[in-house]
Every structure is written in C-alpha cells, then in structure tokens.
Structure 1
Amino acid sequence: MAQKRLGNQTVQLQNSPTIIATASIVGPKEGKGPLSSYFDKILEDDLCGEKSWELAESKMVKEAMQMAIDKTSYVMSNVDYIFAGDLLNQLMSTSFAVRDLKRPFFGLYGACSTMSESLSLASMIVDGGFSDLVIAGTSSHFCSAERQFRFPLEMGSQRPLTAQWTVTGSGCAVISSKGKGPKIRRITTGKVIDEGIKDPNNMGAAMAPAAVDTIRTYFEDTNDDIDSFDIIATGDLGKLGMDIAKEFLMKSGYDISKIYTDCGVEIFDSKKQDTHSGGSGCGCSAVTFCGYIYNKLINKEFNKVMLVSTGALLSPTSTLQKQSIPSIAHAVIIQND
C-alpha cells in the first residue's frame, strides 16, 4: 500500500533525506552574471581545455561531482548511486563522466527538468532505505546544445527576442540518509503537458503550462500554505515563460507573485549580457539551486523552497517533423529542520 502518497502526484518522504553538499561549475558568461559569487568554479574558457564542447561539458560533470563529494566526509567509493543526465544524444556528457567514477549509474533524460528529476529519484531511493548516499546532478553547455538543437554557431544565426541562452554549467547535490543540512520533504512528479507550441525559440511559452500544472497540483494535493515558502523557483522559463506561469496561476487562484522567481531570470543580466528572455538548459536550475538557493538555505536566509525544474521534451527529429513541444515540470520541496 502506498502510504507516502498525498493526492494524485505528490509524495511525503517519511525519512527525509538530507542534502549534505552541493557543487556548481559555470562558464565565463555565467560567471559574469548576478550570481557569480555563489558558484564554486568559473571556467576561463568554454572548452575547458578539451577538444570539443561535448567533452568540456563532460569534464564539468565529473569535476562537479567530485567537488561535491570532497565537501563531505565521504569519498566517491561510498556513493551507492548516481542519478544524472544532460541534453545530448545518449547522455554523452554524463555517461563519459561517470565511466571514470565507477559508481552505479541511472542515466536520466528530462530535458531541462533533469535537476528536479534527479533530486526526486535520488531522494526516493534514500527514503525507501535502498541507499545511504546518492549523487544527483545534471549539466548543459551553450555550444553543444546549439549544435544539437538549433544551428551551428558558425552560421551566426539571429536569435529572436523570445529565445533564451543555454547555460554552460553543471550542478550536483549529495543526498544522504543522515547528516546536517536542508532536507527534501515532498516531491510532486509532473505530467507531460503539450499546449501546441511549435516554436523552438520560444521555450518559455512551451514549458510554462507544465510548471503551472505541477505547482497547482502540489497545492491541491497538500493544501500547503503558499506563505510558508520563502521562494518558489521554476527552472528555465525565462522572463516570458515566467510571466505566463504567474498569470495562469493567478487565474487558478494561486498568487505566488511575492515569492516567485525563475532560475533563467536570476542567472543572467539579460540587458547587459544580451540573453534576450534569460537562461535555459539543464544547467540553469542546477547551478542556480546548487549555488545560490542552497547557499541561502544553509545560511538560514531561506527556510522552505520549492524547486520546479522545467523541461521541453522536443528533439531535433520532432522539430524537423513539425511536431509541437511536449513539456514537463517536477517539484521538489526542500526545507530546513
């Protein structure tokens, strides 16, 4: 019998796992943004000393995972499982990274929702008593994502104002059955939502309905108090998607405007850095959470947080076939003791 379920899509973790450490690595552009002081490492160049952007992303993943473990009293061999993924075909960046770490691995693809997805599954496996120590993480890279999903950078294609800038970065969290730190209390797993948006340069509009559905479902499942949250942060809707989500939640009777932000809005100064609608990519919510938000939790400036990473589940093939963009969002509620 599913004793931990609340409502239709939410679970209450009875043995709330602890996030005992995080690590975040970002590229040079992200390092010049408003959150620069919260990142563990800022790369000097996007290639990170490698021969390709994909290998550079893989190097970020490996370094972020090792860096996070080094902040704890454990070593990598103590890790029971790694839950992680990226945007590239066959999870190239993540798979190449974890082959050297030699730990049991679950590869995930949730597009840009992967940070919340990895946190969700890692927490469930710890709460269920199957593990004591798990790594959850993800990554993205502007150049590798552009090459796969849009146009070669060499073309110099003009980006419309609705477009977002894929974050170059990797974030990961170490989740433990014991230890000090903020705890993951509840998880709301999202449904695939598709409102017919076909424009791959307007991801915010495509993903906003999924974020709205998941946030609304969480409050319907739990009857939780909106005012009990210090911050509700969606993943990478950007400015346009954030405005859409805010408006539709308001129409549903949920006014989160005082505590709502979006990681894609926070990570760049869109006017000074020319990122149009803001940031996107798996790394967007990953480094914003593992850097900025986790720091605020550790320092007790935040007590209760909802992270809602959002993902557009399109592919180069689906775009060429003129398919609309299905999207998903997963919510993780993190709280101090």
Structure 2
Amino acid sequence: MAIKRIGTQTIKFVNPPLLISTASIVGPKEGEGPLGEYFDKVLSDDLFQEVSWEKAESKMTKEAISLATNKAQLKIPDIQYLLGGDLLNQLIATTYAARDLQIPFLGLYGACSTMAESLALGGILIDGGFADRVVAATSSHFSSAERQFRFPLELGNQRPLTAQWTVTGAGAVILSEKGKGPTITHVTTGKVLDYGIADASNMGAAMAPAAASTIVSHFSDTGFKPEDYDLIITGDLGIYGGEIAIELVRNRGLDIMKNYSDCGIEIFNGKKQDTHAGGSGCGCSAVVFCGYLYKKLVEKKYRKILLVSTGALFSPLSLQQGESIPSIAHAVTIECN
C-alpha cells in the first residue's frame, strides 16, 4: 500500500530528508544581477578556463557538487547517489562530471524542471531507506544552450521580447537522512501538458499551464492554502509566463499573487541587463534555490516555500520538425525545522 501518497499526485514523506548544504556557481552576468551576493562563486570568465562552453558547464557542475560536499563536512565517497541533469544532448555536462567524481549516477532529463525533479527523487531514496546521503545537481550555460537550441552566437540574431536568457550556473544540494537544515516534506509530481505553443522564444507561455496544473494539484492533494506558504516560486516562467500561470491558477479558484515569484524574474534585472522576459535553464531554479532561497530558509526569513521548477520538453529535432512544446512542472515543499 502506498501509505506515503496523498491525493492524486503528491507524496508526504514520513521521514523528511534534510537539505544539509548547498552550493551555487554562476557566470558573470548572473553575478551582476540582484542576487549576486548570495552565490558561492561568480566566474569572471564564462568559459571557466576551458576550451568550450560545454566543458565549462560540466566543470561548474563538478565544482558545485564538490563544494556542497565540503560544506557538509563530507567527502565525495560519502555520497551514495548523484541525481542530476542539464539541457545538453545526452546530459553531457552532468555525465562528464559524474565520470570524474565516480558517484553512482542517475541521469535525469526534465529540462528546466530538473532541479525539483532531482530533489524529489533524492528525497524518495532517503525516505524509502535506500540511501543516507544523496546529491541533487543541475546546470545550464547560456552559450551552450544557444548553440544547441537556437542560433550560433556569432550570428547576432535579434531576440523577441518574450525570449528568456538561459542562466549560466550550476547548483548542488546535499540531502541527508540526518543532520541540520530545512526539510522536504511534500512532493507533487507534474503531468506533461501541451497547449500547442511552438515558439521556442516564448517558453514561458508553453510552460505556464504545466506550472498552474501542478500548483492546483498540490493544494488539492495536501489541503494547504496559498497563504500557508511564505513563498510560491516557479522555476523559470519569466515575466509573461508568470502572469499566465497566476491567471490560470486564479481560474481554478486559488489566488497565489500575494506570495508568488519566479526564479527567472529574481535572478536578473531585466531592464539593466537586457534579459527581456527573464532567466531560464536548468541552472535558473538551481542557483536561485541553492544560493538565495536556501540561505533565507536557514536564516528562517522563510519558514515554508513551494519550489515549482518548470521545464519545456522539446529538442532541436522536434523544433525543426514543427512540433509543439510539451511542458512539465514538479513542486517541492521545503520547510524549516
């Protein structure tokens, strides 16, 4: 019997896993944004002394994992599973980091929802008694994502106002069966939704229905109310996707506007940094959570947050073939002890 399952899509942990440390590494543009002081490391060069954007992204992932492990006063062999992913084909940024670290690895692809997905599955491993210590890590890089999904940077293509700026960054979280830190208490797994959006420069609109669906399901399953949370924050819907999500949730009878935000809005100053609709990418919710939100939870400035990472599940091939963009969102409740 699934005794930890409540409602249709949600898990309530019996032994909530602790988040005992985090680490975040970001590129120069992210470091210049409003949250710059909260990141552990801000790169002066987004190539990170490597010969390609992809190698730089993998190096960020590896160093974020190592830093989070050190901050938890652990060693790499103490970590029993690495769960993570990125936006690149075959998860090469995370895979090559896992090759070097030699932690048993479960590669995940949820696009920009991967941070919440890895936290959810890591929590399930710990609450289920399958592991004592797990690391969840995700990354993205503006230049590697542009090269794979859009246009070579050298072309200097114009970006429409609905476009978002892929975050250069990597975040890692150590989940543990014991220790000190905030806990994951609930996980709501999303469904893949597709409302027919086929514009890769308007991913906020594509992902908003999935975010709204998961948020509504979470409140229906748990019986919580929006006001029970200090913050409900989506992964990277940006300005326009966030507005759509708020309206879709309101149409289902819930008002989240008072305590809603979005990681893609928080990480950049859109006007000063010319990021149009905001940030995106696997690294977006990863570094905002691992840098800013985690510190606020530890300081108990936030007592309870709902992190809803959102992902557009398309590929360069599906885009070239004119397919629409399916999307998903996963929600994780994180509380102070």
1:77 corresponds in structure 2 to: 77
1:69 offset after TM fit, Å?
A: 0.4
1:73 offset after TM fit, Å?
A: 2.2
1:263 corresponds in structure 2 to: 263
What are the superposed Cα offsets for residues 152-206 of structure 1, whole Å, 9 maximum, x if unpaired?
0000000000000000000010000000100000000000000000000000000
Partners of 1:40 and 1:254 lie apart in 2 by 36
1:331 corresponds in structure 2 to: 331
1:309 offset after TM fit, Å?
A: 0.3
Partners of 1:115 and 1:254 lie apart in 2 by 25
Secondary structure of the equivalent of 1:124? helix
Partners of 1:286 and 1:97 lie apart in 2 by 16
1:243 corresponds in structure 2 to: 243
Secondary structure of the equivalent of 2:322? coil
Letter in 2 for 1:233: I
Secondary structure of the equivalent of 2:256? coil
2:21 corresponds in structure 1 to: 21
Partners of 1:32 and 1:74 lie apart in 2 by 31
1:228 offset after TM fit, Å?
A: 1.3
Secondary structure of the equivalent of 1:258? helix
2:43 corresponds in structure 1 to: 43
Partners of 2:11 and 2:177 lie apart in 1 by 17
Partners of 2:162 and 2:110 lie apart in 1 by 22
Alignment of 1:12 with 2:48, yes or no, is no
Letter in 2 for 1:158: Q
Partners of 1:90 and 1:249 lie apart in 2 by 34
Partners of 1:49 and 1:12 lie apart in 2 by 43
Partners of 2:37 and 2:182 lie apart in 1 by 21
Aligned-CA RMSD value: 0.5
Partners of 1:315 and 1:99 lie apart in 2 by 24
1:98 offset after TM fit, Å?
A: 1.1
1:225 offset after TM fit, Å?
A: 2.2
Partners of 1:274 and 1:130 lie apart in 2 by 45
Partners of 1:73 and 1:31 lie apart in 2 by 26
Partners of 1:60 and 1:15 lie apart in 2 by 31
1:111 corresponds in structure 2 to: 111
1:294 corresponds in structure 2 to: 294
Partners of 1:230 and 1:222 lie apart in 2 by 16
2:123 corresponds in structure 1 to: 123
Partners of 1:100 and 1:285 lie apart in 2 by 25
Partners of 1:137 and 1:155 lie apart in 2 by 32
Partners of 2:84 and 2:106 lie apart in 1 by 7
Partners of 2:304 and 2:243 lie apart in 1 by 23
Which runs of structure 2 are paired with 1:191-230 in the superposition (5 Å)? 191-230=191-230
Partners of 2:295 and 2:86 lie apart in 1 by 24
What are the superposed Cα offsets for residues 80-136 of structure 1, whole Å, 9 maximum, x if unpaired?
000010000010110111111111000000000000000000000000000000000
My pick for the range that moved more, 192-201 or 223-232, is 223-232
Partners of 1:303 and 1:80 lie apart in 2 by 29
Q: Which runs of 4+ in 1 moved over 3 A?
A: none
Partners of 2:268 and 2:335 lie apart in 1 by 26
1:232 corresponds in structure 2 to: 232
% identical aligned pairs: 62
Partners of 2:89 and 2:199 lie apart in 1 by 21
Alignment of 1:94 with 2:115, yes or no, is no
Partners of 1:207 and 1:194 lie apart in 2 by 9
Partners of 1:305 and 1:227 lie apart in 2 by 11
Secondary structure of the equivalent of 2:331? strand
1:53 corresponds in structure 2 to: 53
2:317 corresponds in structure 1 to: 317
The answer for unaligned runs of 5 or more in structure 1 is none
Letter in 2 for 1:180: K
Partners of 1:201 and 1:114 lie apart in 2 by 20
Alignment of 1:306 with 2:309, yes or no, is no
2:285 corresponds in structure 1 to: 285
Letter in 1 for 2:250: M
1:144 corresponds in structure 2 to: 144
Q: Provide TM-score, normalisation by structure 1.
A: 1.00
Partners of 2:158 and 2:19 lie apart in 1 by 41
Secondary structure of the equivalent of 1:308? strand
Letter in 1 for 2:183: K
